């Protein structure tokens, strides 16, 4: 009787690798999920190959496939492919129905993301004032200044860094997306 231990462990590690890699969009600031998923994916492939070679078990193929899928997802995630997925998951976790929803979010990064999402329509400067992070606030003002084609929005903001950042964002959008 041949042992299928390598193949079974390969499947378990492959599933673990896949779940750690997929945890990345929920927590975009943590790259640990991607890195650990990548190395667990390699381990799943190696154990799957050992399971096939030593025990002639076809279960190792499942571990190999899970490992390969995990490697591909980890590489794409680290390259930014899943930024869209993380944004969708953030929408699910922090719905953007109105400004009141944003004010109830405790996490500053998520709250700033919520306020920034409110900018899509209409362009409301009062939203920028509620953003805590200076960089995010500058991006908010710069985004509105670009879309309204009104550079005076960047003038006289309460912080010099925000004013400079606003102009940087405005100049960036103007150079990249020439109207």
User: What are 6-57's pLDDT values in tens digits?
Assistant: 888 888 888 888 777 766 555 544 556 667 777 888 888 898 898 888 877 7
pLDDT-derived band at 73 (thresholds 50, 70, 90) equals confident
Q: What's the whole-number average pLDDT of the chain?
A: 72
**pLDDT at residue 123 in the model:** 62
pLDDT in tens, 79-108: 554 555 555 555 555 444 444 456 666 666
Measure the CA–CA gap between 165 and 86, rounded to whole angstroms: 25
How high is the pLDDT of residue 86? 56
CA distance 23 to 58: 29
Three-state DSSP string of the chain = CCCCHHHHHHHHHHHHHHHHHHCHHHCCCCCHHHHHHHHHHHHHHHHHHHHHHHHCCCCHHHHHHHHHHHHHHHHHHHCCCCHHHHHHHHHHHCCCCCHHHHHCCCCHHHHHHHHHHHHHCCCCHHHHHHCCCHHHHHHHHHHHHHHCCCHHHHCCCCCHHHHHHHHHHHHHHHHHCCC
pLDDT digits (tens, 9 = 90+) for 117-131: 655 445 667 777 777
Q: For 138-163, how does the pLDDT look when each residue is reduced to its tens digit (9 = 90+)?
A: 888 887 787 777 778 888 787 888 88
Which one has a higher pLDDT value, 177 or 46?
A: 46
User: For residues 30 and 11, what is the distance between their CA atoms, to the nearest angstrom?
Assistant: 25
Task: Write down the pLDDT at residue 112.
Answer: 64
Q: What is the pLDDT of residue 83?
A: 52
Task: Say what angle helices 108-117 and 83-93 make with each other, to 10 degrees.
Answer: 100
Q: What is the pLDDT of residue 1?
A: 39
Q: Which two tokens stand for residue 155?
A: 């003038």
In the prediction, which pLDDT does 122 show?
Answer: 52
Please give the pLDDT value at position 161: 86
Q: What is the rounded distance in angstroms from the CA atom of residue 124 to the CA atom of residue 116?
A: 10
């Amino acid at each position: 009787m041949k042992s299928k231990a390598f193949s079974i462990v390969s499947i378990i590690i492959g599933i673990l690798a896949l779940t750690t890699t997929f945890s990345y969009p929920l927590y975009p600031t943590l790259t640990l999920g991607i890195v650990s998923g990548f190395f667990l994916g390699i381990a799943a492939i190696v154990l799957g190959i050992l399971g096939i070679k030593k025990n002639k078990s076809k279960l190792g193929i499942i571990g190999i496939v899970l490992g390969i899928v995990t490697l591909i997802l980890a590489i794409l995630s680290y390259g930014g492919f899943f930024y869209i997925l993380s944004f969708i998951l953030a929408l699910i976790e922090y719905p953007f129905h109105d400004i009141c929803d944003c004010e109830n979010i405790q996490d500053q990064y998520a709250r700033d993301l919520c306020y920034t999402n409110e900018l899509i329509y209409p362009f409301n400067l009062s939203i920028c004032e509620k953003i805590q992070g200076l960089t995010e606030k500058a991006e908010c003002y710069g985004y509105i200044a670009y879309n309204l084609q009104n550079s005076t929005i960047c003038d006289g903001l309460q912080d010099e860094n925000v004013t400079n950042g606003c102009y940087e964002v405005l100049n960036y959008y103007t150079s990249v997306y020439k109207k």
